[in-house]
Amino acid sequence: MMSNPAMIARIDHLVLTVTDIEATTVFYERALGMQREFFRGPEGQPRHALLFGNQKINLQDRATDTPTKARTPTFGSGDFCLIAGVPLDDVIAHLRKQAIEIEAGPVARRGAIGTLRSLYFRDPDGNLVEVAEYVNA
């Protein structure tokens, strides 16, 4: 076990296993303005991702063939927090305009570096998406 947390600087990407890559891509484009990326993996297999800021979410489905895959990829098991690039009230207004149901929020939460103001909604597979802004940041 590493005892020095400074050895890790940030998250580069995470992976979601989804039932329908296209439907998921369209949802995140519409809900959060993410941009789609198509690329080839090291073995030449097709891969899909959602880009935002300096990070991305790689998407895979049951047919995705890659040697570096979670042992038990499960639909709808994602639960993650994204920091908004605009005021959270703008995100709320946008989600409402897109008819995306907000399950909770805004509510106070504790983030990695301080207090968050957060909201929660679900993607097409039921993954829980938290979008937040730091309070007094």
> pLDDT band at 44, cuts 50/70/90?
confident
- Which listed residue (37, 43, 130, 133) is catalytic? 130
Mean pLDDT score across all residues of the chain:
92
What DSSP letter does each residue of 105-124 carry, written as one string? EEEEEE-SSSEEEEEEEE-T
| Residue in the block written with tokens 């039932």 | 19
| Residue in the block written with tokens 């991305």 | 56
Q: Which amino acid is at 64?
A: T
Q: Residue 115: pLDDT above 70? A: yes
Is 75:126 a contact under the CB 8 Å cutoff?
Answer: yes
Give the separation between CA 33 and CA 52, rounded to whole angstroms.
8
For 32: left if phi > 0, alpha if psi spans -120 to 50, otherwise beta; the answer is: alpha
Q: Residue 1: pLDDT above 70? A: no
Averaging pLDDT over each range in 5-19, 62-76, 96-110, which range is the top one? Answer: 96-110
- Average confidence (pLDDT) over 83-94: 97
Is 130:123 a contact under the CB 8 Å cutoff?
Answer: no
What are the b/e assignments for 48-86, b being 16+ CB within 10 Å?
bbbeeeeebbbbbbeebeeeeeeeeeeebebeeebbbee
43-to-39, 46, 57, 65, 67 alpha-carbon distances in Å: 11, 9, 20, 9, 9
The model carries a pTM of 0.90
pLDDT digits (tens, 9 = 90+) for 120-134: 999 999 999 999 999
101 noted as active-site residue: no
Q: Domains along the chain?
A: 5-134 (3.10.180.10)
